[in-house]
Amino acid sequence: MYHCKRYMMRGGFSSVNGLRYMSRSGRWVPGYCLVQTAPSLRRAASTTTAAAPPEETDLLIIGSGAGAMTAALRARSHGLRVIIAEKEKEVGGTSAISGGGLWIPCNPVSQAAGVKDSEEAALKYFEQAVGDVGAASSLERRRAFLHNGPRMVQFLQELGCLFHLTKGYPDYYPYLEGAIGRGGGRAIETLPFDMRKLKAWQYRLPPPTVPLAILVEDAEIIMRVMSSPSAFLKSGFMVLKLAARALMGQKLASMGQGLVARLLHLNLENGTDIRPETALTDIIRDESGGVVGARLTTSNGVQTITASGGVVLAAGGFAQNKEMREKYGPSPASVSWTSSRPGDTGDAISLGMKMGAATALLDDAWWGPTIIDPTTGKVYFTLSERARPHSMIVDASGNRFMNEAQSYTDAGHDQYARNKVVSAIPAWLIVDTNHRNKYILSGLFPRMLPKKALASKNMFMDHTLEGLAGQIGVDAAGLQATVKKYNGMCSSGVDADFGKGNNAYDNYFGDPKCKPNPNMGPLEKAPYYAFAVWPGDLGTKGGLLTDENQRVVTTQGSPIPGLFAIGNTAASVMGRKYLGPGSTIGPAMTHGFIAADSVVKDVAEKRQRSSASEAEEQPAPRMAAAA
């Protein structure tokens, strides 16, 4: 054991005699810690050059997304030694390329902003939206998430993580009992982070998905930059403000990249051993069946790491594994439409299944209508584009088949369902020139029409609907009839077919200047444009079944000692729905917090048993002879 004074700087962690000590003032608390000196950044950031001998730690975490990093911070706060193993060169997983939002009802950030919420209301919303989908979203798991989510946020705030209420972003089913509608209140995000604080580690993060370090609420305005003078002026002001900060030398990151950067910085400050390019090979069990470590593949071969507190699987789902997608998911399946990271190949889930772990929701994903960006050729997960006026999505018959502005996961379900009746994969996003003149569409700025985009066949244009239909293989008469009917409904603002624009969530991505319905505007100005729409995703939704403590359970329902799963490695507590902005990352971070607390409890109990055993083995003191 090593003296822990070096950790007792501001925000540092220590643990003395198994108890938690946190110093925010920089004052040293006497005693000895239960952790070894943290490895240097040089060691953690570089590949190993010598043979990799076996190692010991308290907690081994597989994966480096927001959930993994939260689990590591929580375990470190209790004095545990923690190793994070990430198989990719870059850390952060899909969290780092996400919007970075957290859906956490009753969180302290929202409460401080005056949002009225309650755990009971959130639970009622869960019941109404998710329904009964089995053990993955049991009452116990829902309660554990709702109870620990605010505690997790407060814990990170105390470490210095700066959060911001995402203003205006409502729950995705605002018309259900217990939901928070117009104005929002359950979604938060981190404030922009200066990447210079990470030093060399900043190059271990994937590039940002958005070129500007903006908040989610700002992005919504910028995406409709040419829709009104006010949107143009607000967008210009944001850009100028960011430019000024860049001139001052700041290198800001926001959204998913900013969230992961903050969590990474906190972990580095507090001694977490983070190892990129270290892949999970196997999980080690003892004679009783409990998990006691793992074998990891490094640049020098396989290394064995034993973990007294067990292993947390936070390695994502299997969105990039075509074989698993074809086996478990709907058809057609593809790895070409997902927005997840390349390493999202289901390694941890597969190993868990081989151990007899139960699974759930393997046929589902965090779906969302996805196009190929005409400017880059890369997949682009559409949010606002399909909810704007002057647009619709149609199948091969030229007919609409859903509310285009609805929750993206529901839209994915609808696309697969429609494809069983009429060819709808791909479906087609149809927009007119009014749409192209006002709104950003993936990488296309308003009025932008690169010849390369049309040549690549990721974007189609024609001066007539009939001509456009011919180019994309859609029934021309059907498309013309659909547009005529839709344009007629736009005048009243009532979508009699699918109810587009009749709730606060739809309206959030609409155009407030469009009346009477911010989501409905006629397609009447030529030329017209089309983009193929695929059932993409943010990752798979199904995984290993866990209990309310995030312990992986067997097919018989008993927990596997020492094995935990969080994030997309675990079957989602959200069931088959997406309850609000941040419904992937919010639970992932909360479950990382819960898993770490479970590990801390297990380690403490093991140490108590070990101490008791040692005491029993001590010889009894010899009694003095009676006089």
Return the DSSP state at 150.
H
- Condensed to tens digits (0 to 9), the pLDDT of residues 353-404 reads 999 999 999 999 999 999 999 999 999 999 999 999 999 999 999 999 999 9
Residue 423 located in a structural domain: yes
**Residue 37 pLDDT class (50, 70, 90 cuts):** very low
Residue 305 located in a structural domain: no
CA pair distance 92, 88, nearest whole angstrom = 9
Would strands 273-275 and 163-165 be described as parallel, antiparallel, or unpaired?
A: unpaired
Residue 564 located in a structural domain: no
- Condensed to tens digits (0 to 9), the pLDDT of residues 264-279 reads 999 999 999 999 999 9
Contacts of 17 (CB under 8 A, 6+ apart): 31
Query: Which is nearest to 322 in space by CA: 540, 538, 92?
Result: 540
Residue 160 located in a structural domain: no
Residue 166 located in a structural domain: no
Residue 481 located in a structural domain: yes
What's the average model confidence in pLDDT over 542-554? 99
Check which CATH number belongs to the domain holding 405 and give it. 3.90.700.10
Q: Which long-range contacts (CB under 8 A, 24 or more apart) does 245-249 make?
A: 249/196
How many C-beta neighbours within 10 Å does residue 556 have?
7
Q: Structure tokens of 511?
A: 């155009």
CA pair distance 599, 605, nearest whole angstrom = 10
- Condensed to tens digits (0 to 9), the pLDDT of residues 286-332 reads 999 999 999 999 988 999 999 999 999 999 999 999 999 999 999 99
CA pair distance 568, 539, nearest whole angstrom = 7
What does pTM read for this prediction?
0.88
How many domains are contained in the chain? 1
Q: Structure tokens of 250?
A: 């700041």
Residue 604 located in a structural domain: no
- Residue 609 has a pLDDT of 83
Q: Which domain holds residue 397?
A: 369-539
Question: Is-contact 153 101, C-beta < 8 A?
Answer: no
Residue 32 located in a structural domain: no
